[in-house]
Amino acid sequence: QNYLDNFWPDLKAAHELFGSILQARRERESESQENNGKEYPEHLPMEILEAGIKSGRYIQGTLNVNKHRAQLEAFVRLQGFGSKETG
């Protein structure tokens, strides 16, 4: 803000953009506080997810997204599968 005020006091578009970015940041911080620091709220309560995993209704794993084709390609690596461990 100081930089804009001191060096570009008449550049209205830059001041509007800065204000917009600042507002978006405040909204994101507010949402993060509401969600206990999580970027996205949980869709189901944890106890339902845990019960679903134990019953086999849900699976648990790590989401892997192709960084070059993120809109098109992703998969879930299941825990205990695909590792190089021998047993």
The DSSP-derived string for 17-38 is HHHHHHHHHHHHHHHHHHTTT-
Residue 8 CA to residue 25 CA, distance in Å, equals 22
pTM (2 decimals)?
A: 0.39
Amino acid at 3: Y
Q: Which residue has the higher pLDDT, 52 or 41?
A: 52
pLDDT in tens, 22-48: 998 888 888 777 767 666 666 888 899
pLDDT at 40: 66
Phi and psi torsions of 16, nearest 5°: -65, -40
- Grouping H, G, I as helix, E, B as strand and the rest as coil, residue 71 is coil
Q: Is the pLDDT of residue 85 over 80?
A: no
Please give the pLDDT value at position 74: 93
Query: In whole numbers, what is the pLDDT of the chain averaged over residues?
Result: 83
| Beta strands in 1-87, from DSSP E residues, in sequence order | 61-65, 74-78
